[in-house]
Amino acid sequence: MFNRETNSFRTFGRAKGKPLSPAQAALMETEFPRIDFGEAVKAGENPLADIDGKVWLEIGFGGAEHLLWQAEKNPDVTLLGVEPFLNGVAKAVRGVVDKDLNNIRLHRGDARDVLKLLPDNSLDRVFVLFPDPWHKARHNKRRIINEEFLAQLYRVIKPGGTFRFGSDIIHYVDWTLTRLKRHGGFEWPASSQDQWRVRPDDWPSTRYLEKAIREGRSGHFFEFTKRDTPS
């Protein structure tokens, strides 16, 4: 689907799944508003205006397992989570409540709307983990990893900050590495296959990754560091 207002293709599939349970719906009504930064996005305001310290952004957090794990393990970091899928957002809210976390903020929507509002050099780390691969060649243009997206990432990540990308689709891995190399603003210091074929200790597994492994696909795990200037 092409959005004429943003002059871009939609990078995600459905935005809703099965109806929320009464408990989920109640949490979305009572708890989601206190951690939702969607109003700032709608108003075109900087979502980080009242946040101090380190900030990490996860784009498309799915079932929120990774987002919640990172927030729990890194209480000194503010985690921004952006996800268009209602059921995923509801799971994140449930986890925030159950784990009594106070360092997560959420937005249900398109991450590109958030990126364009962030100040230069404002993020310490960005995660794009196992995004929709859009397998068919005619749909490749919907992949979130593209030249415009990488330019925005480079702008908002601090020098020396990191971009983590994961995928179980080797064609998408090649696609991403090709565009990152072309951009030239990120360094990939890998010196062995273990550095991208073995999941790091601080990269928790998720239901999606476990499903991919059951279906015979391997995860690929990348961390890129922003250069001071593009090469």
Question: CA-to-CA distance for 41 and 109, rounded, in angstroms?
Answer: 9
Residue 183 counted as domain residue:
yes
Q: In the chain, which residue ranges form alpha helices assigned H by DSSP?
A: 22-30, 32-35, 38-42, 65-73, 86-99, 111-115, 147-156, 170-183, 194-197, 207-214
Residue 107 lies in a domain: yes
As a whole-number percent, the residues of the chain with pLDDT over 70 amount to 90
Average of pLDDT values for 151-180?
97
Q: Do residues 125 and 57 touch, judged by C-beta distance below 8 A?
A: yes
The answer to whether the beta carbons of residues 116 and 107 sit under 8 Å apart is no
Q: DSSP state, 159?
A: E
Model confidence at 137, pLDDT cuts 50, 70, 90, reads: low
What's the mean pLDDT in 29-39?
A: 97
pTM of the model: 0.91
Confidence of residue 12 (pLDDT cuts 50, 70, 90): very low
- pLDDT value at residue 15: 52
Determine, yes or no, domain membership for 46: yes
Domain membership of residue 184 (yes or no) is: yes
Question: Sorting pLDDT into bands at 50, 70 and 90, what band is 10?
Answer: very low
- Cα–Cα distance, 207 to 71 (Å, whole number): 18
| Angle of helix 22-30 versus helix 86-99 axis, rounded to 10 | 80
Asked if 168 is an active-site residue, the reply is no
pLDDT of 8 above 70: no
30, part of any domain: yes
Task: Report pLDDT digits (tens) over 177-228.
Answer: 999 999 999 999 887 878 899 999 999 999 889 999 999 999 999 999 999 9
Tell me whether residue 231 is in a domain.
no
- Is residue 63 in some structural domain? yes
For 41-84, how does the pLDDT look when each residue is reduced to its tens digit (9 = 90+)? 999 999 999 999 999 999 999 999 999 999 999 999 999 999 99
Mean pLDDT of the chain, nearest integer: 91
Is there a domain that residue 181 lies in? yes
- 14 pLDDT tier (thresholds 50, 70, 90): low
- 58 touches 125 (CB < 8 A): no
Split into its structural domains, the chain has a count of 1
User: Which position among 113, 124, 132, 174 bears the catalytic label?
Assistant: 132
Q: Which residues constitute the domain of residue 216?
A: 2-226
Burial label for 186, CB within 10 Å (0-12, 13-18, 19+), is: buried
- The CATH number assigned to the domain holding 143 equals 3.40.50.150
